[in-house]
Amino acid sequence: MNDNPLLSAGGLPKYDEILPEHVIPAVDTMVAEVESDLSRIEKDLRAPSWDAVIEELNTMEDRFDQVWSPVGHLNAVRNEPALREAYLAAQPKIVALSLKMGQSKKIYEKGMAIMRGPEWTVLDEGQKRALEQRKLGAELSGIALEGEKRERFNKLSEDLSQLATKFNNNVLDATKEFKLVLKDKAEVEGLTDSIKEMLAHSYARENAPAKPDPANGPWLLTLDAPVYLAFMQFGAHRGLREKLYRAFVSRASSGDKDNTPLMESILNLRKEKAGLLGYNSYAEVSLATKMARDPGEVNALLEELLTASYEPAKKELAEVAAFANAGGHAGPLAHWDVSYWSKRLEEKKFGYTDDELRPYFSLEKVLDGLFSVTERLFGVTVRAADGEARTWNKDVRFFKISDGSGKHIASFFLDAYSRPENKRGGAWMNGIRGRRVWKGGERLPVATLVCNFTPPVGEKPSLLTFGEVTTMFHEFGHGLQHMLTKIGYSDVAGIGGVEWDAVELASQFMENWCYHKATLLGMAKHYKTGETLPVETYEKMYAARSYHAGMMMLRQISFAMTDMSLHTSDKPDIKAIEKAVAERTALIPPLPENRFLCSFSHIFAGGYAAGYYSYKWAEVLSADAFSAFEEAGLEDAEALSQTGARFRDTVLALGGSRHPSEVFKAFRGREPSPKALLRHNGLLTV
């Protein structure tokens, strides 16, 4: 068994060696080891202490992560049938082990003994918070339940885990299932050269050995997010836009991939689980680990944002409709018209197109700009270290971060390119290793940043849309919080232990630098000529920042309100809730066949159940944090460096070692206010 790469101790995962057949043997070995360690810690007769209990648990949990973390990661970035099968087969064992770890009465009692004992007074605030988080975690894992109630709780946990995986697989499969080959040039009218290139390569990949021919086709239309969004914004063929829109909003809502029964089961099981834990709703369970105190506080923020954005959004839509009518569109706008005509109006208003910007944003130059602003603000250096770590794909890159003295403090992988055949869509950051300092040594943090950008083609580098540039900055913000932590306790280092609705603070904060003149012009270099993006274009981009902020805000509010209603209702009627929220937030009534929730993985298969509001909550925090830099002076290098050092020492360094409201106040000197967010979005009424 020593040759199983998932079981090799120390160092980074051997991603290039891990095969589906390694998963079950490694999981079985790890489960046996962890159960044995858990039993040993439970039976330890020494007086409970941080070293005898928490450090021992951390070592045990490291073993768990060493095996399961790479499997979960590969399931997202190299999802092939055999691996998916192995992942599904291992999942019940993982859930059962997680519950056993979370529901150990003896461990819970040892933790309580530390909290009540003499050592409590000498522990630092990070250690205290780690213990408090463990206590809450145990309580939410059903520690207080006995007999049949505990059995039922564990069954619910396992069922929910499997339902989430099935929900995700249905969305992935339904998305992959839709394919539309276009052969007529009239069908791709309006599409930019880069979009036609993407669709031609898409076709060639599916029809090897065909060679991509962007100018003459064929082109393949799919529901993959980059393809869908591009066609909805640029495809002049209205009939195809309608076909694509209807397919997109009804994904995973029919046949053997219908997620409707899964959604109902998930909501009912969550409600039952909440009841067993003594909560009135699943929303209360979710908010027990959030910065927001209760559903009322969440709804108050959503109502405030709804009030600020509804009338502006109505005006924005009316302006698009008038522009479309003047441009030859007859009658009112349908859902599949809004993005298209919004984009045409944006181009007319601001005088540039996404495709004109793309050549200025090669991934290499964007990374240079990102690393440069990181160095200026936080005093750290990023350097390429390709070849120093094993990767899961030849295009994956590896980097190392050093502090001001040149000392290596963290590393990260970057998996930048789209691989629709086996890689999940979207973008995310995961911790591969968290920072840990203990008597036996120090472990440096390692992150992985995953995006889905267009790969390089021939001599042409990967060229990003401006939206993708902000995505890169966003994910790196998560990475910075994971990597620049100064806390050495696993539970609360980096993003560990950070309340979910505050965890987007650092990521959304970093997006603001994409609009910072010196940062943007420093990285916007034409990939062929090397010339810098014209200043006038930057001014237009800055002006376009708040374009249709009202409509975008409404869309996010509708998702958040739907999510909160589904998880606070006694007997959630999915259709009735969707309808009630749409009546308040939708400017165009949804289509009868709109089944968007069937593909809403965030809340049914991700970590955002009764937490989708977190994006807006954290946006309030991040906009307010960035306004501290605005107040210091965005062109004052010294002031930026000082404010950046304060941000690093609080938001990035403290991780989950203090409550996020305390961390925010330590940086900002006061409670957060939504004013900066509304101002950045042009929605602040004076």
Q: List, by residue number, the catalytic residues.
A: 475
For residue 461, give the amino acid letter. Answer: P
Is the distance from CB of 477 to CB of 508 less than 8 angstroms?
yes
**Contact present, 435 and 444 (Cβ < 8 Å):** yes
Q: Mark residue 530 as left, alpha or beta (left: phi above 0; alpha: psi -120 to 50; beta: remaining).
A: left
Rounded (10°) angle between helices 335-350 and 295-326: 70
- Taking alpha carbons only, the member of 178, 159, 181 closest to residue 254 is 178
Give the 3-state secondary structure of 39-101. HHHHHCCCCCCHHHHHHHHHHHHHHHHHHHHHHHHHHHHCCCHHHHHHHHHHHHHHHHHHHHH
Q: Is 115 helix (H, G, I), strand (E, B) or coil?
A: helix
Nearest Cα to 466, choosing from 545, 530, 528?
Answer: 545
**What does each C-alpha distance from 326 to 239, 321, 329, 344 come to in angstroms?**
20, 9, 7, 12
Rounded distance between C-alpha atoms, residue 477 and residue 481, angstroms = 7
Query: Which long-range contacts does 17-25 make (Cβ < 8 Å, 24+ apart)?
Result: 17/390, 18/70, 18/71, 18/74, 18/392, 20/80, 20/82, 20/83, 20/85, 20/86, 21/82, 21/86, 23/71, 23/83, 23/86, 23/87, 23/89, 23/90, 24/86, 24/89, 24/90, 25/1
For the chain, the straight-line distance linking the first and the last C-alpha, in angstroms and rounded, comes to 68
- Dist CA 38 CA 475 (whole Å): 35
Contact between residue 435 and residue 494 where contact means Cβ atoms under 8 Å apart: yes
Write the CB contacts of 561 (distance below 8 Å, at least 6 apart in sequence): 299, 302, 581, 584, 585
- Three-state SS annotation for 210-266: CCCCCCCCCEEEECCHHHHHHHHHHCCCHHHHHHHHHHHHCCCCCHHHCCHHHHHHH
CA distances from residue 321 to 189, 357, 682 in whole angstroms, order as listed: 21, 26, 21
Burial bucket for residue 180 (CB in 10 Å: 0-12, 13-18, 19+)? middle
d(CA 203, CA 180): 10
